[in-house]
Amino acid sequence: MKTLILLALVAVASAVCYDGYQALRVEPANELQLDFLNTLKNELEGKISFWSQPRTTKRPTDILVQPRFQDDIKELLDAKQIKYSVMIDDVQSVIDSQARSEDDVKIGADFDYSMYHTYEEIQAWVFEITAAHSAIAQQFQIATSTEGRAINAVKISTGGIGTKKAVYWQGGIHAREWVSPATVMFITKSLLENYGVDSDVTEILDAFDFYIVPSLNVDGYSYTWTRDRMWRKTRSVNSGSACRGVDPNRNYEYEWGGEGASTSACSDTYRGPNAFSEPEVAGTTSFLLNANQEFVCFIDFHSYSQLWLAPWSFTARAILPLDKDDHDEAAAKAVNALASVHGTDYIYGPSARTLYAASGCSEDWGYVTLGAKYSYVVELRDTGRYGFLLPANQIIPTGEETYEAVKALCKHMVEEYK
Ligand code: 0X9
Ligand code: ZN
């Protein structure tokens, strides 16, 4: 007992504490104000953390500020007449209020989709859900992380004659975006449970093979449970730097190292020493390229902002892809179906123009290198009230609406490819 208490204390003592940290919503109104925010970002790297990138006046930028810088930052913003508001007043109290009671944790056949789950529980879920639907689902390990963790995947295949076109979805590429793995698990079980029950789902699963990875950045995700709830990147060691981790969503080979990716190991958008330096990204992509299937859909689920984003991610300046109209049409169907469930509004469009440019991202790789026509990055709930700290009571509603969205997208693809 004594040892247990001691262990619990050690775990708490070594965790990063966000007491008094505020999340500020900053709304730059012009290029000058944007430039100022970018200077601030570069100069205060490591002291304040940007939850979203200050690259457009179309959307706000959310920043996490520790107590001792709050007065100074607000003074600076006031001096530059940049509009801001306090989105979360005390980040730690939100984190604390979301701590789950371990007695309530339900896994196995009773897996509780309404709570967030640890790395171990998610990987075990892959075994359980595929065992429960073994006629059409199998589990396999798609890759291994830097720290040696297994990254498990679900394959859904209802059989039939010949090789089918395929769909790939992944969650959890950014560690702190907890609603992403939770949603990917929810939509996966919903598809599996509705095969042979809902005629749309039956048609969809009969038309395509599915490969689904609920949690890709497993080291980072584990770290958010034990040490730092706000961790984003992988946990790899960067030679010559005390800062750990690479942004896996800047580490894909397509247009690696361009706009919106940092060369600094301490940055949250660090691109890594080279493309595919991260085994989580290298492993999953090489699996897909060697799967001997024609992929028509690639979705990388993130949070937050409620966006359904298509290529290009790497720049806002390039001519949009030839498939642009089809990307829009299918995305419109997805977000309309999504809104019909709980009224949640999403915006869709090409990533770099709708949000900001980011090179070396998953969706461009999915579109160009993998050749999946319907390649998207989806930013799930919310629009910033809780940001990455989305309360667990929103997991099921997020799952329900996202399930309708992906069904609408898949129906669109069934029509197109039949
Ligand atoms: O910056 C990212 O990797 C994604 N946003 S997040 O807050 N989840 O980190 C967005 C990637 C989408 N692509 C572009 N914005 N170009
Ligand atoms: Zn993300």
Q: Which CATH number characterizes residue 34's domain?
A: 3.30.70.340
Average pLDDT, stretch 119-135?
97
Is the per-residue pLDDT at 36 higher than 60? yes
Q: Other CB atoms closer than 10 Å to residue 395's CB: what's the count?
A: 24
pLDDT score at 14: 62
Could you tell me if 66 and 204 lie in one domain?
Answer: no
Residue 254 is assigned to a structural domain of this protein: no
Q: Which one of the ligands is nearest to 307 CA?
A: 1
Average pLDDT, stretch 236-254?
97
Q: Mapped to the 3 state alphabet, what secondary structure does 175-224 carry?
A: CCCCHHHHHHHHHHHHHHHHCCCCHHHHHHHHHEEEEEECCCCHHHHHHH
Average pLDDT, stretch 48-60?
89
Is the per-residue pLDDT at 163 higher than 60? yes
Average pLDDT, stretch 339-347?
98
Residue 2 is assigned to a structural domain of this protein: no
Could you tell me if 324 and 195 lie in one domain?
Answer: yes
Residue 38 is assigned to a structural domain of this protein: yes
Could you tell me if 311 and 399 lie in one domain?
Answer: yes
Boundary (domain end) residue, out of 38, 63, 89: 89
Boundary (domain end) residue, out of 89, 115, 143: 89
- Please give the residue that has the higher pLDDT: either 130 or 101: 130
Tokens encoding 152: 């498990």
Domain count, the chain: 2
Among 121, 177, 255, 379, which one carries the catalytic annotation?
A: 379
Q: What is the domain-level CATH number for residue 172?
A: 3.40.630.10
Could you tell me if 77 and 166 lie in one domain?
Answer: no
Could you tell me if 175 and 84 lie in one domain?
Answer: no
Could you tell me if 277 and 397 lie in one domain?
Answer: yes
pLDDT score at 78: 96
- State CA 150 to chain mean position distance: 19
Whether residue 249 has its Cβ less than 6 Å from ligand 1 = yes
Boundary (domain end) residue, out of 89, 119, 134: 89
Average pLDDT, stretch 138-143?
98
Residue 119 is assigned to a structural domain of this protein: yes
For tokens 């509603």, the residue is 397
Whether residue 357 has its Cβ less than 6 Å from ligand 1 = yes
411 confidence band (pLDDT: 50, 70, 90) = very high
Could you tell me if 79 and 161 lie in one domain?
Answer: no
Average pLDDT, stretch 378-401?
97
Would residue 379 show up in a list of annotated catalytic residues for this protein? yes
Could you tell me if 322 and 290 lie in one domain?
Answer: yes
Is the per-residue pLDDT at 199 higher than 70? yes
Residue 320 is assigned to a structural domain of this protein: yes
Is the per-residue pLDDT at 4 higher than 60? no
Residue 166 is assigned to a structural domain of this protein: yes
Residue 1 is assigned to a structural domain of this protein: no
Could you tell me if 344 and 199 lie in one domain?
Answer: yes
* Mean pLDDT, rounded, of the chain: 94
Give the whole-angstrom CA distance, residue 338 versus residue 54: 28
Protein residue whose Cα sits closest to atom 16 of ligand 1:
313
Domain limits for position 346: 106-225+271-417
Could you tell me if 123 and 82 lie in one domain?
Answer: no
Pocket test for ligand 1, best of 377, 381, 389 (most atoms within 8 A of CB): 377
CA 309–ligand 1 middle distance (angstroms): 9
What digits encode the pLDDT tens for the residues 311-334?
999 999 999 999 999 999 999 999
Give the whole-angstrom CA distance, residue 386 versus residue 390: 5
CA 138–ligand 1 middle distance (angstroms): 30
Average pLDDT, stretch 393-405?
98
Residue 76 is assigned to a structural domain of this protein: yes
Could you tell me if 165 and 41 lie in one domain?
Answer: no
Q: Which one of the ligands is nearest to 384 CA?
A: 1
Pocket test for ligand 1, best of 41, 361, 376, 380 (most atoms within 8 A of CB): 361
Could you tell me if 410 and 291 lie in one domain?
Answer: yes
